[in-house]
A and B are shown apart, each in its own frame.
Chain A
Amino acid sequence: MAPGDTGLAIETSQLSKSFGTRHAVNNLDLAVPHGSVFGFLGPNGSGKTTTIRMLLGLATPTSGSISVLGRPMPAAGQDVLPHVGALVEGPAFYPFLSGRSNLLRLDAANPRSAAADRRRRVDRALDTVGLGQAARLAVHAYSLGMKQRLGIANALATDHELLVLDEPTNGLDPQGTREVRHLIASLAGAGTTVFISSHLLSEIEQMCTHAAVMSNGNRVAQGTLAELRSGGNGTVVIHTPDADAARTVLGGLGLLPGGEAAQGGDTAVVPHGETGEEGGTGVVQVPWPDDEPAPESIVAALVAAGVRVRGFALERPSLEDRFVELTGEGFDVAR
């Protein structure tokens, strides 16, 4: 399968990888659009790095197909990989060589990179990640954060169409994390497709346009960030002293807590129809599963029925709630 002009930088179809009896990745379908910043989320051990290894031709799929930049992997690796910069499972360098020598060696391994401006490109990449000063220091003297920066510099030494970054902010201080975010934004602005794996939700939320969520080797969601957010169930929250009247009105609009049966019962995070007395004002919460009816018509109906509405809110689950819902666990659980 070699879709030439699907507009996808990465496409996988039914991609699976087993190690013995353990299924690391299961029938994974990924679609990473050109020019997107694609977040690849999942708890540790959910199959992200194994997927990245297969995308880059380091590991062979047990079954399924991969296309990167329109060419099949791993078959077309020698043609595809010169256009791909990558950071895979942390940076790795020769500890006895300087940061600069390490990058020069890896650049020399690429038969398509021009020898003439190798030093200039490497020095520029080192400056970009703020390692200009430490470039001639042996890597064994580097901190984890400096190695991480060096790994990113390696991915930047040549201009790539696609960057695959596995946990790029691992080990970076907040300042470094911000710099990486800005770097990715500027690369994306220049048209580079960026594929970022992370177990840190906030990171993805701040950087990405698209995301896929992995759990135990399965893809449990994929889409634009907006699509992923809207996938969850909203909640209508009304503050009113006339709680019973409000419930009656909402019931008339099809929003009674009883309506939950229609949603498959996975809304445990919302305490349905709960009423609390707070200085005479009750709080009525009901699920709002299909974004229907429109909020203004809910308020209009409440007011028309004489309900004293003192507060009205539509609560969307945060992306975090959504991911906990999808992966069935806290995000950092496996660390």
Chain B
Amino acid sequence: MPGSALLVSELALVFRRRRTWAMLAALGAVPVLVAVAVRLTSGPPTGRGPAFLDRVAGNGLFVAIVGMFMCIPLFLPLTVSVVAGDTIAGEAGHGTLRYLLIAPASRGRLLLVKYFGAAVFCLAAALVVALVGVLIGLALFGVGPVTLLSGDTIPLGESLGRIGLMAAYVAISLWGLAAIGLFISTLTDVPVGAMAATAVLSVASQILGQLPQLDWLHPWLFTQHWFGFADLLREPILWASFGENALLQAGYVLVFGALAYGRLSTKDVLS
């Protein structure tokens, strides 16, 4: 397919950058830290710390789950902000945007490809946290069947499946943010500005979500369901939160994708 070459090239561009690997390594370090900290401090559970932390020592699979809980509020959105904020502004900053456009990559196609690259990074980031968590958990604690929130116990294979689902949930949660970053990225030629603005929005949205006075706004915040992946640890799975989240993120992708297209398609590329 003739259009797919740019897509492959974009993925190579994202994943051949040292910056991308540094961010993925930093994300992978979180579950490692969790596991090592728990391993070194034996003793009765204190009940403090992130959800499920107490269960890590009993079953290494929970390292992955705790890792995702710890990364979703800040580390994951930060890395996604870097990649998404860089999409168009980075090309403009390098001056390569003009050469891509006269190659010619149409502005619509370029946006799609750029968003696709950012979305794949979201997935990769979530998978890295989950995968490293499972591996380090296996190494330090051993793994076994998981006892769910609902009290049922599921076998190891299915447990791994659940963790995969949770990683997917996390990735989808970040797609809305990636779309916002894509739009902000069309507004400037300075990638750092777009990255920072995107990261600030992800934090601001979570703060708004903490204010009871803004109850009416909460269902519309793209961060609203970020922690909802715990519902995948029930039997039967509560698909409602997965669906709600996916729908909300899809809405953000559509709205901010359209805004990004509106902006880029009318923009004079002077960088």
Residues on A close to B: CB < 8 A? 53, 56-60, 77-78, 81-82, 84, 86, 88-90, 92-97, 104-112, 115, 118, 154
Instruction: A108 to B3: give the CA distance in the assembly, Å.
Output: 8
Assuming A77-B104, A78-B106, A107-B103, is B98 touching A58 (CB within 8 A)? yes
Of B2, B96, B102, B270, the residue contacting A94 (CB under 8 A) is B96
Q: Say yes or no: A110 contacts B104, CB within 8 Å.
A: yes
A53 / chain B contacts, CB cutoff of 8 Å = 98, 268-270
Of A60, A106, A112, the residue contacting B100 (CB under 8 A) is A106
**Does B99 belong to the interface (CB within 8 Å)?**
yes
Instruction: A106 to B6: give the CA distance in the assembly, Å.
Output: 8
**Does B201 belong to the interface (CB within 8 Å)?**
no
Q: Say yes or no: B268 contacts A82, CB within 8 Å.
A: no
Residues on B close to A: CB < 8 A? 2-3, 5-6, 8-9, 12-13, 16-18, 94-96, 98-106, 109-110, 266, 268-270
Assuming A96-B17, A104-B9, A111-B3, is B98 touching A81 (CB within 8 A)? no
CB nearest neighbor in B for A114: B2
Interface of A is mostly: loop
A95 / chain B contacts, CB cutoff of 8 Å = 94
Q: Say yes or no: B94 contacts A81, CB within 8 Å.
A: no
Assuming A57-B101, A111-B2, is B9 touching A92 (CB within 8 A)? no
Assuming A105-B9, A154-B99, is B94 touching A92 (CB within 8 A)? yes
Q: Say yes or no: A115 contacts B98, CB within 8 Å.
A: no
Q: Say yes or no: A58 contacts B13, CB within 8 Å.
A: no
Instruction: A72 to B261: give the CA distance in the assembly, Å.
Output: 22
Of A78, A93, A94, A108, the residue contacting B104 (CB under 8 A) is A78
Instruction: A205 to B8: give the CA distance in the assembly, Å.
Output: 44
B104 / chain A contacts, CB cutoff of 8 Å = 57, 77-78, 81-82, 109-110
Q: Say yes or no: A108 contacts B5, CB within 8 Å.
A: yes
* Nearest 4 A/B pairs, CB to CB: A92-B95, A109-B103, A81-B104, A108-B5
B9 / chain A contacts, CB cutoff of 8 Å = 104-105, 108-109
Assuming A105-B9, A112-B2, is B101 touching A96 (CB within 8 A)? no
B95 / chain A contacts, CB cutoff of 8 Å = 89-90, 92-93
Q: Say yes or no: B102 contacts A58, CB within 8 Å.
A: yes
A94 / chain B contacts, CB cutoff of 8 Å = 13, 94, 96
CB distance from B123 to the nearest CB of A (A): 22
A-B contact pairs, 11 of them (CB 8 A): A53-B98, A92-B95, A92-B98, A92-B99, A96-B18, A97-B16, A105-B13, A109-B6, A111-B3, A115-B2, A115-B5
Q: A53-B270, A111-B6 are known contacts; what are 7 more A-B pairs with Cβ within 8 Å?
A: A53-B268, A58-B270, A77-B106, A89-B98, A94-B13, A97-B16, A115-B2
Q: Say yes or no: B94 contacts A58, CB within 8 Å.
A: no
Q: Say yes or no: A59 contacts B96, CB within 8 Å.
A: no
Instruction: A94 to B12: give the CA distance in the assembly, Å.
Output: 13
CB distance from A119 to the nearest CB of B (A): 12
A104 / chain B contacts, CB cutoff of 8 Å = 9
Assuming A92-B99, A104-B9, A154-B99, is B268 touching A109 (CB within 8 A)? no
Assuming A93-B94, A96-B17, is B6 touching A58 (CB within 8 A)? no
